[in-house]
Structure 1
Amino acid sequence: MNEKNNEDRIEWIEKLIKYSSDGDEVINSLVGNLVNYLVKKEVIEIEDYLDFTKNTRDVYISNLKKEGHDEESNIVNHVKKQFNMHINDFEK
């Protein structure tokens, strides 16, 4: 493979990562907005929701570890990051 093809491939991968990351941000914003709406309409209580969400995070991580992923694996870190960002949005 020549240098031009490698550069094109790297550029494509960088764009893919950016679009994926941007998509995560949009989804996180939409979920946060929905939770805020449900709290304001008194459909859910934020403390109960946060407890449930923390428990769900811990179950996901436990299941990943049972599948052989260690504490520092990319997938475990990603799950922690996504859940913790969401939880932190409401604990402030």
Structure 2
Amino acid sequence: MSQKAIVTLEANLKDDCIDNFFYLLSKYLPETKMYDGFISIKIHQCTTENTIVLHQEWESITHYEAYLRWRTDNGVMHILRANFTSDPIIKYWNTVIV
């Protein structure tokens, strides 16, 4: 059995966009949860700054990259990006200890 893909997306939110960003998540997450290869997502907000981390689990990196391409092609990433102070940082992780 292959290891699942852990993906994080970290971004800093503009001060005046926090509520809008969480509204957009509530709008788009139902589609995400139905996308092929999606397993789970947890969203974390830093307690001392406007940084958010989306901690996601996917069947594979290939599944996530197809999802990201879809979100980019249909304009959602552009809409989300308008709430960030800079481009988000996406990282792929291996689970080494459970």
Q: Which has the higher strand share?
A: 2
Q: Which has the higher helix share?
A: 1
Higher-Rg member (1/2) = 1
TM-score bracket for this pair, using the shorter chain length: 0.3 to 0.5
